[in-house]
Structure 1
Amino acid sequence: MVLPLGCRGARGPPPHLQAACVLNQASSNLSEVGGDRSYHGEVLKHISAPPPCSAARTCRNFWSAGDYDAEVGLSTRQPQSVQNRMCVHPKFLHSNATSHKWPFGAVAELLDNAVDEIQTGGATRINVDKVIDHRNGSPALLVQDDGGGMDPDSIRCCMSFEFSDKQSGSSIGQYGNGFKTSTMRLGADAIVFSRSTKSGELTQSIGLLSYTFLVETGQKDVVVPVVDYKCNLFTGQTKRFKRHGPEHFSSNLSVLLKWSPFLTEEELMQNFTDIGPHGTKIIVFNLWSNDDGNLELDFDTNPEDIMIRGAPEEINNSVKRVNENHLANRLRYSLRLPEYFKIILRGKEVARHCVAADLLYPECISYRPQVCGGKEVEVLTSIGFLNGAPTISIHGFNIYHKNRLILPFHRVLSTASSKGKGVSGVLEADFIKPTHDKQDFEKSQLYQKLINRLKDMTNEYW
């Protein structure tokens, strides 16, 4: 089954920026449990102070937000005892997120994380909605699932770099980088609430990945404040889990309260009331704006959907209208999910749709490529005419990888030729690897052989 996100918009891919990773002098008393980098005691209190300038220096246009000088803001006070180590500069958060050329690729990445929880954490639903940042009244994006959640160590791994425990062959997210790229592509800041029993006891953890905090305090390293709690759902008691001492906990909490949408610890804890016994809630706030100063994500045009602002509202040409309104243009990012799994978009369940069921005069064709070690795998392709052919110009193959639609209606024949017009197909290509951002496949020999076979398949069917 194909499950659409229900959103469509215009692409606008500016060029990628270069990642910035620096070798920095850092304190030897820096806590790095599970990949978390949070300063102890008075050091973290020092860097959480507001910048001397009254106006925020963080640009709210994504493609310009990477241009800032850390020397302008407050610099991190270095203790006397220091050591060389590789640090991730805050600019890397931004340049790393440019792998998503448009916002809905980032939304799809967050959905992938919830889908991975189907097998590992028993997730049955994911909720995507608009919420309000009560600190400034601006819209924020909510993504919440009822999976297994993250314990204190897991949330630190999630919010650090170069870590992934998704080694299962059925997992979509295998690079351990999706959370950072997706959240930072959608907004400058993200706060995560997670409840879990993975450590053998019920824990609640809150983490903040804030580009605004890093920029406006002039950081030269990515600092991620995290606080943990131990709780009892039966008695309702929740206790602070001070794994590194009370000063460390208080320092992290003070940064969370200063730079998140929540002003008190009580407001933070209220976010767990609708999570249930386990699950994760992500709120992306300070959303990015386009060149006109409007938010990239449009919550207003359709109250039941989320769109990209700037998409054409009306198409005069009747043929173009048929093409633009065709299903192919509304299923750009789709997932094939179990029947029991639900995606709730702005309060309503997203309707399921099977692209293969739309094909007229369908055929099922087998392709048997040889992969590593000469092993042969079978790939079944459903091929047929789209409804409306040959009037519509849409054609191509929907190529999935582990149930994630990587290439939607990918054309394999020249656009100058009318041959193959209206012919489409659906296949699962788990034997080739997707690119890092999962918006394309690596251009390997196996991939090229597949494309050549799909060309022949189209010509033969035509």
Structure 2
Amino acid sequence: MTMSNSNIIDLCSDDEMGRSNIKKCRREIEPGFDSASAPSVCPTPISRQFWKAGYYEIEQGQRCKAANQYGKNHMRIHPMFLHSNATSHKWAFGAMAELLDNAVDEVQNGATFVSIDKISTPQYGTPALLIRDDGGGMDPDAIRRCMSFGFSDKKSKFTIGQYGNGFKTSSMRLGADVIVFSRHLKSRSLTQSVGLLSYTFLRSMGNNNVVVPMVDYEFNSSARTFGPLIPHDEDHFSSNLTMLLQWSPYSTEDELLKQFDDIGDHGTKVVIYNLWLNDDGEMELDFDSDPEDICINGDKTGRMKQIQYVANLYQHSLRAYASILYRQLPEYFRIILRGRDIEYHNIAEDLKYVQFIKYMPQVDGNLEVEIITAIGFLKEAPHANTHGFNIYHRNRLILPFWRAVGCTNGTGRGVVGVLEPDFIQPTHNKQDFEKTSLFQKLEDRLKQMTVEYWNKHCKLIGYQQVKKTPSTTTTLPSSVTQNCVDQDQPLLLNHGSQYESSNSRAGLIKKRKDLLDPPLKLQHAKRHMGSSCGTDVQCISEEPENSVEGMMRVSQKMLLMQENKRLQSRLLALEKMVQELDLKVQQLKDEQKNVEQHAGELENELTQLTQTLFESCKWNMYKQHVC
């Protein structure tokens, strides 16, 4: 694949599709079309249902021609790959999270918000999804890398994106077509670019390779307007613009450029349209149930019976999911969903009888890494039977309420944990982790942690501990990451009613402070859980008293110790800063002293030179007088 700053981006080659081939099929299927209305000139009607839209058949002659066109041997990307690549997201909100990740990564470029909203396409009034941020934006080269496969500019260890594939998988999972507007300011050069990735366009034209029409504009400071940026020729620009206007929701160039009005000097706007339908023929995303939320269409009766906790909502509510999706975000950064800010939800603050447990596996030989897990019962327990671990990676929630222990006999119900093991790698869709030996060891440790915590604390909230043989505790297979609804109910003491349990999917957060930075030094004894398989596991929470009051005191003490450690760290940082400033002041004083000394020396030299000059002038005047 050759990358160039051309106006037409062919993701397989830079020259195999001529202009005549581009113009051979004008649009006869409009956005929002029904598959039955596809005309005969474009014999590949597209199903509006995502899981049925991957069938793509081209003529045999086209297939043969594609194999060795112009005698060149190179890889090609068929449009069908856009759909098959997007199937990695089984869950629509998983795709939505990828788009949020791109905006959050722009914090390092000055982004202060990301906005998600529903809009209507101007030509047909069909619903579309709008994602907008005020990050650094993309210049013409950067937007071409964004629209291609495998190119990523994100090299920082703090960024979430890694593979250069998230935008394509997420946008194609949510809708058949996406148009991107981006404005970028660099070195007094202000550019804006538009790119279209359209499954509808490629299928309707019968293309056997992926082509992305793009146009660029540059600000003319003298004329105070944006003019076309044409690296090749005007025909190239014109043909791209024609395709954009034919296949995007905007029918004129003025209407297209008007989309930059709310971007400012820098930022990016993504519009996803021709949104997919579910298997029942309904819009997969539900914009009507809640005017301040985006939901997933489905049966809502079961959810209404459950306690309205985030774990019961996040699979169906983007607002709930977004509230727990990130562990920490700058205080100034806002995630705005349909006009209202998303409120950050710290799951660790929902726990009672909290313990902080340290796990130290060996990574890359003898290198030990430290992971702190906060574990406790939900405050709503035993009425809310949600349980599982919320596992983050690089600040991003990968597995929400993931169950390491099956609760067939009640063990582990209501136990929730939060941790961030950055030493294991997530899968490309960021909805699971790679099933490596390190992940298996972590899974085993979390299972052990859950059982131990449950056995020690279950009676405090009314659960009855069930005596069982060691073999009766079952573990969910490591490959299972979707949450399931338990059918068995826990044994309760002094409770006559039963409550339905549910699990869910993942969540987004607008985070300010993290409670999971626990103290490493405690006053009471620590117990070691062993170091098999190169791991060192240590519980760092105090032994709780047997009474409920004692447990509450222990929990409060742990939080106070954690806050104390945070303040101590802050104090040390400030003291170090003061020392550095003192050193700087001393250096400046020394420099000032040297400068003053040098100035004194120069002044003495000037005095001597003045005196010498005066005496010389006086002698010359005397000689003249004598003569």
TM-score normalised by structure 1 residue count: 0.86
Is 1:209 matched with 2:197?
yes
Counterparts in 2 of 1:176 and 1:54: CA distance versus 1, 3 Å: closer
How far off its partner does 1:176 sit?
Answer: 0.5
- 1:411 counterpart = 2:403: yes
Pick one of 383, 388, 399 that aligns with 1:391: 383
The yes-or-no answer on 1:330 pairing with 2:313 is yes
The offset of 1:299, in angstroms, is: 0.6
Structure 2 residue 95 is matched with structure 1 residue 106: yes
1:169-184 correspondence to structure 2 within 5 Å: 169-184=157-172
1:149 aligns with 2:127: no
- Give per-residue Cα distances to partners, 1:78-114, cap 9 Å, x unaligned: 9984523211000000000000002111111100111
Give, in angstroms, the shift of residue 43 of structure 1: 3.6
Give the ranges of 4+ consecutive aligned residues of structure 1 lying more than 4 Å apart after TM superposition: 29-40, 47-52, 72-82, 232-235
> Is contact 1:74-1:218 (8 Å) kept?
no
**Cα distance change on mapping 1:233 and 1:364 into 2, 3 Å:** farther
Q: Contact 2:336–2:342 (CA<8 Å) still a contact in 1?
A: yes
The one-letter amino acid paired with 1:103 is: A
How far residue 398 of structure 1 moved from its aligned partner, in angstroms, is: 0.4
- In structure 1, the partner of 2:306 is 321
SS in 1 for 2:211: coil
1:95 is aligned to 2:73? no
Deviation at 1:236, TM superposition (A): 3.7
Separation of aligned partners in 2, 1:158 and 1:35: 15
Summarize deviations over 1:364-387 as a string: whole Å, max 9, x none.
221111112421111111111102
Please give the alpha-carbon distance, in whole angstroms, between the structure 2 residues aligned to 1:66 and 1:312: 29
Higher RCO by CA contacts (8 Å cutoff, separation 6 or greater): 1
Gaps of 5+ in 1: 1-22, 24-28
Q: What amino acid is aligned across from residue 430 of structure 1 in structure 2?
A: D
Conserved? CA contact 1:384–1:425, under 8 Å: yes
The one-letter code sitting in structure 1 at the alignment partner of 2:395 is N
| RMSD of Structure 2 on Structure 1 (CA) | 2.7
Q: Contact (CA 8 Å) 1:75, 1:217: kept in 2 or not?
A: no
CA contact 2:386–2:414 (8 Å) conserved in 1: yes
Contact 1:43 1:77 survives alignment (8 Å) = no
Which residue of structure 2 aligns with residue 4 of structure 1? Answer: none
- Note the C-alpha offset of 1:415: 2.2
Establish whether residue 271 from structure 1 lines up as the match of residue 259 from structure 2.
Answer: yes
Q: Specify which of 413, 421, 424 is matched with residue 429 of structure 1.
A: 421
Q: Which runs of 5+ in 2 are unaligned?
A: 29-38, 316-320, 455-627
Tell me the SS of whatever aligns to 1:369.
strand
DSSP-derived class of the 1:360 partner: strand
- CA offsets, 1:289-336, max 9 Å, x none? 1122221011111111101111324557xxx522xx222123454123
C-alpha separation between the residues in 2 aligned to 1:350 and 1:372? 39
Matches within 5 A, 1:51-450: 52-53=40-41, 57-71=45-59, 81-119=70-108, 121-198=109-186, 201-232=189-220, 236-313=224-301, 321-322=306-307, 325-331=308-314, 333=321, 334-336=325-327, 337-450=329-442
Partners of 1:373 and 1:327 in 2: CA distance = 39
Greater CA radius of gyration, 1 or 2? 2
Please identify, of 442-451 and 415-424, the stretch whose mean Cα deviation from structure 2 is larger.
415-424
Q: Percent identity?
A: 56
Query: Would the alpha carbon gap of residues 402 and 66 (structure 1) be closer, same or farther in structure 2, given more than 3 Å must change?
Result: same
Q: For the Cα contact (< 8 Å) 1:395–1:424, is it kept in 2?
A: yes
- Give distance in 1, aligned partners of 2:60 and 2:187: 42
Q: Do the aligned partners of residues 104 and 213 (structure 1) sit closer, same or farther apart at CA in structure 2, a change above 3 Å counting?
A: same
CA distance in 1, matches of 2:72, 2:154: 32
1:390 positional shift: 2.2
SS state at 2:73 partner: strand
Amino acid at match of 2:73: N
For residue 44 of structure 1, the aligned residue among 22, 29, 46 is 22
The corresponding residue for 2:499 is none
More strand by share: 1
Q: Deviations over 1:336-389 (max 9, x none)?
A: 322211111001111111111111121222111111242111111111110221
